[in-house]
Amino acid sequence: MTNYRDQHVLIPESDLEGMSVDTLAVRAGQIRTGELEHSDAIFPTSSFVYASAAQAAARFGGEEPGNIYSRFTNPTVQAFEARLAAMEGGERCVATSSGMSAILATCMALLTSGDHVICSRGVFGTTNVLFQKYLSRFGVDTSFVKLTDQDEWEAAVRPETRMIFIETPSNPLCEVADMEKLAALARRSNVLFVVDNCFCTPVLQRPLEQGADIIIHSATKYLDGQGRCVGGAVVGPAKLMEEVYGFLRSAGPTMSPFNAWVFQKGLETLPIRMRAHCDNALELAKWLQSQETVEEVYYAGLASHPQHELAKKQQTGFGGVLSFRVKGGRKEAWAFIDATRMISITANLGDVKTTITHPATTTHGRLSDEDKEQAGITENLIRISVGIEAVSDLRTDLQRGFEVLENHRQGNV
């Protein structure tokens, strides 16, 4: 694409072939207008005009490329899609209104009644509900297996299996899947391998290179990084993404131009933010391990984590989310959380501000008691999404929780 400042000045398209994720996060996908703006433009419009009725017909009929209606064609959204696809190493990205709508759009576009899905137990609670409660109404059956048990995955495959769906690392116990083994299983079984890459982002992990077919994102989390907007994305081969795009065009779970612009700006700082999140989370996880009232810490960056070596192999960092169990139950976990005075009590994650939540009653609160037990979501489990504040200040705030637990232990509360 060549843009014109005036008839004498040409700005050639950037050559980004072979560039790193850090560079792609800043440069990929930019669409400059005739004004030659340096920052990314935003197109807050619902519709577009045509030079003639014939051109309108050609656009709607797919005979001529160009914008039609912002439910499914908008330059700002397309710029975000192009940048994220480049960062993930995928052929095409389809942006959606939320992370859950990204999963829904993928399933509605690529599954049909009678199909079978194998999903890991360690997924976001609402993902579990979507598969169990809603997709089942349309004849899609789902089996849930332990993320790290390859034998369970192998045994779950049926003739009608169409999709393997995972989050890695898992939410909230930070288990890590062996993507190469699951990709091999998917190829042998002729099924799609879908990976939710929310926790790592393309900065730390590129599932397509590990054999995944499709990547899911909740752009709400790290891609934005500042808790401003809700959005999602699906990345994968052009042929499959055309089906997802077709569902989006018809059903309308669309990303708004404003949100796309916010996410596009968020991607620019994603590499440096992810490294800061990783550094802080590892330091905090080590500190939590030393606390007397902590039973166990779950973070793949710890040498004690059962998939530590695997995480080192397929990730370039361990992410910003960790969880831990305190001694006691819900009463103690809630008391710990309530004692904090700086960390935000909210279920969102991926923010530059550190957040803390009780998964059993928030993110995974809609699961049955049996499903919680199988997924390891106990009443004494606490999840922290570690931000980029000073770790010393995070320790100071969390220490308030440990003091409350100590008072509980001594019977002073």
Tell me the pLDDT tens digit for each residue of 93-146: 999 999 999 999 999 999 999 999 999 998 988 999 999 999 999 999 999 999
Residue 85 vs residue 124, higher pLDDT: 85
- How far is 292 from 311, CA to CA, in rounded Å? 27
* Structure confidence by residue, pLDDT tens digits, 56-74: 999 999 999 999 999 999 9
φ, ψ (nearest 5 deg) of residue 193? -110, 110
The verdict on whether omega for the bond into residue 306 sits within 30 degrees of 0, i.e. cis, is: no
Residue 10 forms beta bridges with which residues?
4
Domains and CATH numbers, the chain: 14-266 (3.40.640.10), 270-409 (3.90.1150.10)
- 3-state DSSP helix/strand/coil percent for the chain, to nearest 5? 40, 15, 40
Give the model's confidence band at 4: pLDDT under 50 very low, under 70 low, under 90 confident, else very high: very low
Tokens of 168: 């890695």
Q: Is the pLDDT of residue 211 over 60?
A: yes
Question: CA angle at residue 341 from 338 to 343, to 5 degrees?
Answer: 90
pLDDT recorded at residue 359:
95
- pLDDT, residue 13, reads 64
Q: Please give the structure tokens belonging to residue 42.
A: 């935003």
What proportion of the chain, given as a percentage, has pLDDT over 70?
96
pTM higher than 0.85: yes
Q: 257-289 and 75-88 are packed helices; what angle lies between their axes, rounded to 10 degrees?
A: 40
Question: pLDDT, tens digit, for every residue of 390-408?
Answer: 999 999 999 999 999 988 7
With bands split at pLDDT 50, 70 and 90, how would you rate the model's confidence at 6?
Answer: very low
Cα separation, 73 vs 80, whole angstroms: 12
Section 210-214 average pLDDT? 98
Q: Distance (Å, rounded) from C-alpha 262 to C-alpha 395?
A: 31
Two structure tokens written together for 182: 């699951």
